[in-house]
Amino acid sequence: MAGRSQKKGTSGAVRNYITRTRAVKKLQISLPDFRRLCIFKGIYPREPRNKKKVSKGSTAATTFYYTKDIQYLLHEPLLAKFREHKAVAKKIGRALGRGESGDAARLEKTLMPTIRLDHIIKERYPTFVDALRDLDDALSMLFLFAHLPSSQHMPAKTIALCQRLTREFEHYVITSHALRKSFLSIKGIYYQATVQGQDILWLVPYRFVQRTGGDIDFRIMGTFVEFYTTLLGFVNYRLYTSLGLVYPPKFNAQSDAQGGELAAFQLQAKANATDGETNGHREHPPINPDAQAIADRVGAMPDVDVDGDGDGDGEKDATAVAAIPAEDDQDEPTDEIDKFEPTAPDADVLPQPQASSAEVASLFAPFTMYLSRETPRASLEFILKAFGCKRVGWDGILGDGAFTTNESDPAITHQIIDRPALSNRAPAQDVAETESGDAAAPTVQWPYSTMPGRTYVQPQWVWDCINQSKLLPPHLYAPGAELPPHLSPWVKPSKGEYDPNLPLEAQQPDGEAEAFEDDGDEEDAAFHADRGEDMHAIVDREGSVEVGEGMHVADDDEDEEDEDVDDSDDANAVPAAEEFDGFDSDAESDVSEGEAARRQHQRELEAEATGKKLEIAKPTKKEQNAAIRKKFDKKRREEEEERERQKMMLSNKKRKLLKRIEYGENKRDTESEQLRRKRARLEKARAAAEAV
């Protein structure tokens, strides 16, 4: 019995997808409300695998959604809120049409529904870890809107909310020392923090004047901001609670109006917080009962006589020593971190252990920093405080909350400046006398003098120190110095790639340095040759006499002199065979090694027969480089031949896969070689400039 035939377009991919027009009609809401609801619920358009089949043969541009997603939206409580909002908006519109502005304001204040997204946050993020994993885009968006100016599309209330939430999150990062890396890029400043085991990366734009264009749909972006502010509010509450802090923290509006930013918030611990809890965990682990019993037994015994001249009993001393576990007999721990060195030149480079989180958190703790007016105060204050610096000062015009606003404060150990090189003159300081006749503290006359005992560095020093988890030499970042390359901490160079941190000699393969040197000499020779030809052309043009078609006509006396010179040259000419002199002959460079060895042996026999000493000319630097390159080229050819023989043993499928791998490797090697060649030219030019 044949099965029942189905109607076309009622099953399969056609039924799995639904167009946006049909979805809006099915939900009975407007298109803006549909977009807003999809953003809140995390539902996005889908691209069918066979778009022509889904659209029933139509080729028009159509947006599709999953049918199950739209069915899921039918039970959303926000639909009722949207419909109430639409009904109240109609009433307000009729009131304004009748000129009853008071009734319209009353309707908006009393009947306009309030939309809350708490239940959506709980649906989309069942666990707190899920919310942390989705925090990257939220922080980047909120930091962006926190730096935007208020406008008709973006009210000041929303911008103030973004600023408050982002600064609360920064305070948590500072308190928990969760910041790990940061990078200065063209787009802005990247930050990475580790919060409860999750790496969170966000972007903060530079504080330039933002000009918003008319091609930006702020309604869509405002919907995302509304959702992200709710999400970050939940996350901040959970994070502050895990540290035992009161949320929200106290906010000082007066300090914020004076530019205090982070200083406008005051963190407070909860009164009923459990002592010793940090980040949701107890600060000290539970004590092992066996270890505690041993410690009590040892503590009850008399002190051990180390020098041997005390009154302690020897038996008790031996018992006490025996009671100590054998683990204590190990070597004393040191502060240095062990390093894993490779056992062979071609061995894999093992990842080196990093400094502990406690050491990194207190990287700038011993210092007192002062930020000059031209430095980015907000980002530097955040980074320095996140890495343990409690004393950060700046000029009073930068805002409130500085540790000190006096640049001449003797407690300042480091000053971060971004100005040209300092003057080399002796420190000229103004010493003012007080009313009692005593001399006051010296004041700095920037840029004509510096404070003695203070370290002056550029802002990049802070970023490079935290990325490498150690304090770098400050003289490399002195004012006016050529800064080291600022590299991304998330990009680690692999084997064979160019690494700006390593010296050039350590990255060049065998024979490449000699090739670079010869190429540089050839380029210089070509440059000087071209320049010489140009000079000769200029001289000939200046000394020529235009006759007829520009041909140079010489006098008879000049012709005779030229002929005499030519005759004398021919008389003194040396035959080509006698012109050969040892290794300097260009003809010998083209012959084979066997022929060169035979000729060398012939010269030795002739010298021995005549009793003359054979003088062998030393090979030039160029010849030595050519010999070294020839040696390594031969080795490379042998390796390539062996590799080709191994390829012949592979199947066709694996051979194609290997070909694609080799294509990527060759492309990487070519880029690395170009960068090394460029660096070699720069180093050569720098060395020549220093020699002059």
172: closest CA among 232, 226, 129, 257?
Answer: 232
137 and 259 part of one domain = yes
pLDDT at 472: 92
For residues 526 and 380, what is the distance between their CA atoms, to the nearest angstrom? 50
CA distances for 568 relative to 237, 557, 576, 579, 580, angstroms: 102, 17, 17, 18, 22
Residue 551 belongs to a domain: no
**Boundary-marking domain end, from 259, 278, 297:** 278
Tokens 């407007």, residue located = 30
For residues 116 and 234, what is the distance between their CA atoms, to the nearest angstrom? 13
pLDDT at 5: 73
Residue 2 belongs to a domain: no
Residue 319 belongs to a domain: no
98 and 212 part of one domain = no
134 and 71 part of one domain = no
Residue 225 belongs to a domain: yes
147 and 257 part of one domain = yes
106 and 137 part of one domain = no
Do residues 125 and 233 lie in contact, with contact meaning Cβ atoms separated by under 8 Å?
Answer: no
On the 0-12 / 13-18 / 19+ scale of CB atoms within 10 A, 401 is buried
Tokens of 464: 């490079």
On the 0-12 / 13-18 / 19+ scale of CB atoms within 10 A, 316 is middle
Do residues 191 and 202 lie in contact, with contact meaning Cβ atoms separated by under 8 Å?
Answer: yes
pTM of the model: 0.67
Tokens of 456: 């002056």
45 and 171 part of one domain = no
Residue 255 belongs to a domain: yes
pLDDT at 613: 67
pLDDT in tens, 245-285: 999 999 998 998 888 889 999 998 887 654 444 444 444 44
127 and 270 part of one domain = yes
Q: Which residues, given as ranges, of the chain have pLDDT below 70? A: 1-3, 8-10, 272-357, 422-449, 496, 505-506, 508-594, 613-626, 628-629
| 66-72, Cβ contacts within 8 angstroms, sequence gap of 24 or more | 66/16, 66/17, 66/18, 67/15, 67/16, 67/17, 67/18, 68/16, 69/43, 70/18, 70/23, 70/26, 70/27, 72/41, 72/43
202 and 262 part of one domain = yes
225 and 95 part of one domain = no
Tokens 């980074």, residue located = 383
What is the residue range of 39's domain? Answer: 13-110
143 and 261 part of one domain = yes
**Boundary-marking domain end, from 88, 110, 132:** 110
CA distances for 306 relative to 50, 313, 316, 317, angstroms: 86, 12, 13, 9
Residue 630 belongs to a domain: no
Residue 366 belongs to a domain: no
Name the CA radius of gyration of the chain, rounded: 40
For residues 683 and 529, what is the distance between their CA atoms, to the nearest angstrom? 23
What is the number of structural domains in the chain?
2
204 and 274 part of one domain = yes
Distance of alpha carbon 592 from its chain centroid, rounded?
A: 53
pLDDT in tens, 449-475: 678 889 999 999 999 999 998 999 999
127 and 225 part of one domain = yes
CA end-to-end span of the chain? 100
**Boundary-marking domain end, from 278, 309, 331:** 278
377: closest CA among 348, 400, 346?
Answer: 400
